[in-house]
Structure 1
Amino acid sequence: MAMAALKALVGHTSYPSSSLLTSSSDIFTPSAPLCVCRTSRLIRPADSATVCLLRPPAPEPVLARVALARPGRRASVSATMATGVKEALPPALTSTSDPPPVFDGTTRLYISYTCPFAQRVWITRNHKGLQDQIKLVPIDLQNRPAWYKEKVYPANKVPALEHNNEVRGESLDLIKYLDANFGGPSLWPEDPAKKEFAEELFSYTDTFSKSVVSSFKGEGDDQAAAAFDFIENALSKFEDGPFFLGQFSLVDIAYAPFIERFTPYLQEVKSIDITAGRPKLATWIEEMNKNEAYTQTRRDPKELVESYKKRFAAQL
């Protein structure tokens, strides 16, 4: 299925493509209820008789154990490989921190606790139960050590994976790499139709993010509404589970960190409930909040809202 066919499936016109934002200065990393109608217009409750029966997801993560789906079973896939692993998160390394012994045979994942791109790889690591195989190395992006660029990753971005005496970057590439080169449950479909749809949804991730952020900048809400409608319709493609490909996959991991950030900000600052009129999205959020591999990486919604307020308040 070509990208145009995907757009036809979900009922929206194409957006211009753009490259992923992965630097520390991107809009998603902090510097230092509307009802959504089917027309994609955002209508404030006072102006509409629409009654929204869906409640927004609880702001705090919900930890639950869900059985791993087996072939032929209709079941939600959760982080059973990660369940029970209590990881003590290390402090972020700063400009005064000593570097790790790079290229000593240890596999390291360099992240920032605030970066949604890095969060993708972190979730994948957790879901596949690789906490003991891949060491987490958090970097303070606001006070990053000089040795990170000089000795580890010349691009000076996160995420980065040190493995087999090489350092790789780019979040979507890395989650595929982890899935293909490490053990644990597979997160990429074998079915050709699902595989093709997964690639096309991967290609839409940046367009989705930029469309939503346009509303943060006071550029109108219609584009953001259309982006969430796109997600709602994409979640309707397969009926064998509540996720983008039916069963939990890398596609869900690709979108989760951004929807995690957009949901509380739009709710609090613009009184927009992104699940209103979108039952598939509401169910998807509920299921993601049961995924321990994901909830282990979540940030406090209040912190997310405050960081976005600082960045975008003047533009509203």
Structure 2
Amino acid sequence: MATAGVQEVLPPSLTSNSPQPPLFDGTTRLYTSYICPFAQRVWITRNYKGLQDKIELVGIDLQNRPAWYKEKVYPENKVPSLEHNGKILGESLDLIKYLDANFEGPSLIPTDPAKEEYGEQVIAHVDTFTKDLFTSLKGDAVQQASPAFDYLENALGKFDDGPFLLGQFSWVDVAYIPFVERFQTVFADVFKHDVTEGRPKLAAWIEVPGNLFLGLWKLH
């Protein structure tokens, strides 16, 4: 990742009053929201692979999004989406794998069959994980979210060759980290609770990706 530590200057988010960028003019564009954890997955992937000069960011204001985005770019009207080679692609997990397969840069998909298989298992749980965290905010958040964070603590113990979910940094970490860091902040600020307490593997895992992406993406 050649640009690690370099703060990217972000273009302003486009609103209902903003003109549409040219479509299918040969430019590869990532339509994103700077504060959306789903979109951040693909942003992280782009930056990790060093594609800042190859994939242009187009910020979308989700509270005042342009009509042309749904009508002419992505009918699902959500982010992220990717404009590449005359087509528009969507869904954050699919886009991580698409960028990994179709662009240069370090791979996020492990070649070790055991890691690949386990990665698919952990990825299959990510929607349940995020749903449980959001649901926990409606009740006793600390207690209700505990099993979700325990799941990650246990998952992080599968491989011992690194602090990541598959030992090595991979797309599985990218899928989880925007949500974990966001909820870590919420639980600390709102509930005065440290989600890493009693979870040393989770604490180490959060610290390393946080440093890895310093200057490359923001939660807020």
Deviations 1:38-76 (A, max 9, x none): xxxxxxxxxxxxxxxxxxxxxxxxxxxxxxxxxxxxxxx
**Which residue of 2 is the match for residue 183 of structure 1?**
104
Alignment of 1:238 onto 2:159: yes
Give the conservation status (yes or no) of the 8 Å contact 2:33–2:60. Answer: yes
- Any gaps of 5 or more consecutive residues in structure 1? 1-79, 301-316
State the alpha-carbon separation in 2 of the partners of residues 270 and 86 from structure 1. Answer: 31
State the alpha-carbon separation in 2 of the partners of residues 222 and 89 from structure 1. Answer: 38
Shift of 1:264: 1.3
- Are the structure 2 counterparts of residues 85 and 270 from structure 1 closer, same or farther at C-alpha, using a change threshold of 3 Å? closer
What is the identity, as a one-letter code, of the residue corresponding to 1:201?
Answer: V
Shift of 1:220: 5.4
State the alpha-carbon separation in 1 of the partners of residues 145 and 56 from structure 2. Answer: 37
**Equivalent residue for 2:191, pick from 259, 267, 270:** 270
Give the conservation status (yes or no) of the 8 Å contact 1:289–1:295. Answer: no
Give the conservation status (yes or no) of the 8 Å contact 1:81–1:126. Answer: no
Larger Rg: 1
Q: CA RMSD in A?
A: 1.3
**Which residue of 2 is the match for residue 88 of structure 1?**
9
TM-score, reference length from structure 1: 0.67
- Are the structure 2 counterparts of residues 89 and 146 from structure 1 closer, same or farther at C-alpha, using a change threshold of 3 Å? same
The share of aligned pairs that are identical, in percent, is 63
Shift of 1:81: 2.7
**Which residue of 1 is the match for residue 28 of structure 2?**
107
Shift of 1:148: 0.4
Q: SS state of the match for residue 162, structure 1?
A: strand
State the alpha-carbon separation in 2 of the partners of residues 154 and 128 from structure 1. Answer: 28
State the alpha-carbon separation in 2 of the partners of residues 270 and 84 from structure 1. Answer: 31
**Which residue of 1 is the match for residue 206 of structure 2?**
285
Higher helix fraction: Structure 1 or Structure 2? Answer: 2
Question: With CA pairs under 8 Å and 6+ residues apart, which has the higher RCO, 1 or 2?
Answer: 1
**Which residue of 1 is the match for residue 216 of structure 2?**
296
Q: SS state of the match for residue 110, structure 1?
A: strand
**Which residue of 1 is the match for residue 66 of structure 2?**
145
Aligned length: 220
State the alpha-carbon separation in 2 of the partners of residues 298 and 216 from structure 1. Answer: 23
State the alpha-carbon separation in 2 of the partners of residues 160 and 227 from structure 1. Answer: 28
Shift of 1:271: 2.1
What is the identity, as a one-letter code, of the residue corresponding to 2:219?
Answer: R
**Which residue of 2 is the match for residue 227 of structure 1?**
148
Q: SS state of the match for residue 83, structure 2?
A: strand
